[in-house]
Structure 1
Amino acid sequence: MSPIALPTQNAVVLHGPKDLRLEERTLWPPQYNYAQVSVVSTGLCGSDLHYYLHGRNGDNVLQAPLVLGHEAGGIVTAVGPGVKNLVPGQRVAIEAGIMCNHCDYCKKGRYNLCKAMRFCSSAGTFPHLDGTLQSRMNHPANVLHPLPDSCSFDQAALAEPLSVLLHASRRADLTSGQTVLVFGVGAIGLLACALAKSYGASHVVAIDINQTRLDFAKAYGFASQIHCLPPADKAKTTEEQLRRAKENIQVALTEFGKEDGFDVVFECTGAESCIQMAIHGAITGGKVMLVGMGSRNVMLPLSAAATREVDVHGSFRYANTYPTALALLISGKLKNVEKIITHRFPLEDTARAFDLLARGKDDEGKMVLKIMIGDS
């Protein structure tokens, strides 16, 4: 069949820093074990923003034009040969990672660590794998998750960031009755608070440098107590930085009435000073979950962790979380989670959406948390 006879679809394509172009592309039919999805909602993520602003996210550098977006839900419009679990018209959440299903990590259920993993909207592999900021896309059927009847497309998109926290919570062995401290109350940090409460945490508190976000977290019940870190000049020495981190967290712990620390600390900023504070913020025998990705190399107060048996765990993406995430999102246990979505743009205005996300406030002074792209 000639490509001229095939239909087309629109995609927002990143060609370099702040160089987003709306392009018309040929829409190919889905191949074996793939389905075609009409994307309805895509949530913009911090990693997407890094690519938009800098053409890179950490060590992953844009090498060719790339479609961003990996938090999404949509409607199946066609299925390829071999697909038996999906039918056209079915509503689905799109899990963005494509694993090999053959390596030891995949066989052990830890496919997030698969060395052959290709992830939509990431420049970590080449050729890059396009993301969800397009009107339609073809994707493996095994990572398209049917939506419960009461699940909205926005909730389907939120299942991706929620999966990050579900995976981290499993690694932390989070259980009912524990106390939880969250660093950073952007969308990920707010979801960490909400998830901890749904697990039955006895005390959930949050720390940030943004008072407006903290007030939001407390007003909508994500955290019972909040603490805003004081502004400060950059420390001149490592010793001064470590000292400040210890002093700042001690002030916060006293304010929270938890001088001994918290059972589980979710570090959702990636900032070096917050990682340092997180170790001091954990109770003896507690756990620190490194969720945020920011500083590449960090000076840690390791003795404070080692001598108090504070376990520091890395957490990367997620595995086998989507059904649980979708069930939680419709259960009502994540109170006010829909408030995280603050703005919405159509696909053709994606560049404006990224600029707004970078500013953090709209023209009316309203805080920006999660922006959805699409018409949901």
Structure 2
Amino acid sequence: MAENFDLPESAPAVVAHGKDDLRIEDVALAVPAADQAVVEIAYGGICGSDLHYWLHGAAGESILKDPMVLGHEVVGIVVRAAADGTGPGVGTPVAVHPATPAPGAARYPLDRPNLSPGCTYLGSAARHPHTDGAFLRYANLPTRMLRELPEGLSLRGAALVEPASVAWHAVARAGEVRGKTALVVGCGPIGALAVAVLKRAGAAHITAVDMHAKPLEIAQAVGADAVLHAGDTEAIAAVEADVVIESSGNHFGLASAINGAVRGGRVVMVGLLPSGPQPVAISLAIVRELELVGSFRFNNEIDDVIAALAEGSLFVDPVITHEYALGDALEAFAMAKDSAVSGKVLLNFGA
């Protein structure tokens, strides 16, 4: 692609204006900063946080105060290289690490920048002014966010890089899983991807739990050895898993995770529960000496995920269930909301 690619003055984007107010509209394209490349977005995956901004006007404590471009699960092609000479050249296919760590005032382990209190994320209303996302035909992105895709890994095949990195980080928080029994509670895209990562990491037996048949079907396709309905609490408790990944994001799922863990086991909580107090069977966790471990976003795991996808050792294809053109984004969001029939829903920005 030529270096002198002429960018339009505006481009279509998916913009959340408030609760139940999602629009596909043209937004003005800013002049890129010296350290920013212009990426022509090819695919974007709809995340739970995107759905929350649409359905509730907020994602947890992050409340929309102004219209915001959504989207952080994106891949595309560089159409204008950064003026400062950093980053990939024109024509390079890239995935995006959407975080911008910043120290902030609070203390945190410096080797875990995902915990930096000043961190911003593409498509997040955590701070004001908000950080616009990249559900935009042409996005200005700092070159430090860009990861060149290896030859043989297609853009569509890389569309799951960001959520798979979240799952990879969660499994890493579980410690060594090779040869151990694992339980995954909640098999939406993150849960299903956790199953795939556990499979690759050598878990001896993986049980997947969900309320619906479709997510369980996807979980089996990417490596689950057994599946259970979330209502079968006795069967879940009988699993006695060494490692549990809780990805449902509700207190019922957390209860199942605690009940399904073996004495002395570890429960990794990657599903984000609503803010405020939650009913949790802490007494059971205490007497069983369970380790309850949080997992939030990811750091450099994205590089391992890209390598694993390129070499074929991480199999995630069944997680993508639907694809829509950008112009059909409202229909795509409605499909993504229905977890009974969908896994990961993609927007195709070039369709």
Distance (whole Å) between structure 1 residues aligned to residue 189 and residue 72 of structure 2: 15
Letter in 2 for 1:345: Y
C-alpha change, 1:143 and 1:253, in structure 2 (3 Å) is same
More helix by share: 1
Q: Which of 149, 153, 157 is 1:151 aligned to?
A: 153
**Structure-2 separation of matches of 1:286 and 1:108:** 27
What letter corresponds to residue 285 of structure 1 in structure 2?
G
Q: TM-score, normalised by structure 1?
A: 0.86
Q: Unpaired runs of 5+ in structure 2?
A: 1-6
What one-letter code is carried by the residue in structure 2 that aligns with 1:250?
E
Which residue is equivalent to 1:250?
A: 234
Secondary structure (helix, strand or coil) at the match of 1:204 reads: strand
Length-normalised TM-score, structure 2: 0.91
How far apart are the structure 2 equivalents of 1:102 and 1:54? 28
Query: Contact 1:8/1:25 (CA < 8 Å) preserved in 2?
Result: yes
Paired position in structure 1 for 2:14: 12
Give 3-state SS (helix, strand or coil) of 2:158's partner: helix
Q: What letter is aligned with 2:328?
A: D
The alpha carbon displacement at 1:214 in A equals 1.8
Superposition deviation, residue 271 in structure 1 = 1.3
- Aligned residue runs from structure 1 range 103-142, under 5 A: 108-142=110-144
Distance 2:251 2:80 in 1: 46
* Partner residue in 2 for 1:369: 343
Instruction: Indicate the residue corresponding to 1:58 in structure 2.
Output: 60
- What is the number of residues matched between the two proteins? 343
C-alpha deviation, 1:253, in angstroms: 4.0
Partner residue of 2:260? 281
Q: Give the counterpart of 1:294 among 261, 265, 273.
A: 273
Alignment-derived partner of residue 222 in structure 1: 223
1:106 is displaced (CA, Å) by: 8.4
CA distance in 1, matches of 2:274, 2:119: 23
How many Å separate the matches in 1 of 2:90 and 2:109? Answer: 30
Task: Give distance in 2, aligned partners of 1:277 and 1:107.
Answer: 30
Query: In the alignment, which residue of structure 1 is the partner of 2:4?
Result: none
The one-letter code sitting in structure 1 at the alignment partner of 2:224 is A
What letter corresponds to residue 224 of structure 1 in structure 2?
D
Q: What SS does structure 2 have at the residue aligned with 1:190?
A: helix
SS at match of 2:160: helix
Residues 31 and 77 (structure 1), Cα distance of their counterparts in 2 relative to 1, 3 Å cut: same
- Structure 1, residues 290-338: CA drift from partner, whole Å, max 9, x if none? 0111333222222222222210001111111111011111222233x11
Q: Which amino acid aligns with 1:251?
A: A
Deviation of 1:249 (Å) = 3.6
Whole-angstrom distance in 2 between the partners of 1:193 and 1:151: 21
Shift of 1:104: 8.8
**1:208 corresponds to which letter in structure 2?**
D
| Structure 2 residue 307 is matched with structure 1 residue 332 | no
Among 188, 197, 205, the alignment partner of 1:203 is: 205
> What SS does the corresponding residue of 2:39 show, helix, strand or coil?
strand
State the Cα distance separating 1:176 from its structure 2 match.
Answer: 1.1
Root mean square deviation of aligned Cα = 2.1
How far off its partner does 1:147 sit?
0.6
Distance in 2 (alpha carbons) for counterparts of 1:360 and 1:273:
17
1:271 equivalent to 2:255? Answer no
- Mapped contact 1:105–1:113 kept (Cα < 8 A): no
Give the conservation status (yes or no) of the 8 Å contact 2:51–2:333: yes
Q: What SS does the aligned partner of 1:351 have?
A: helix
Cα shift at 1:280: 2.1
1:11 Cα offset (Å): 1.5
Structure 2 CA distance for aligned equivalents of residues 59 and 108 of structure 1? 24
> 1:116-159: per-residue Cα shift (whole Å, max 9, x none)?
21111111111111112110111111111111111121233211
Bigger radius of gyration, 1 or 2?
1
- Contact 1:83 1:141 survives alignment (8 Å): no
Residue of structure 2 aligned with 1:309, choices 275, 289, 295: 289
Q: Select between 9-18 and 175-184 the one with higher mean Cα deviation.
A: 9-18
> Which 5+ residue runs of structure 1 have no aligned equivalent?
231-247, 362-366
2:170, 2:194 within 8 Å by CA — same for their partners in 1?
Answer: no
Query: Which residue of 336, 339, 357 corresponds with 2:336?
Result: 357
In 2, the alpha carbon distance for the partners of 1:115 and 1:303 equals 31
Of residues 279, 302, 314 in structure 2, which corresponds to 1:322? 302
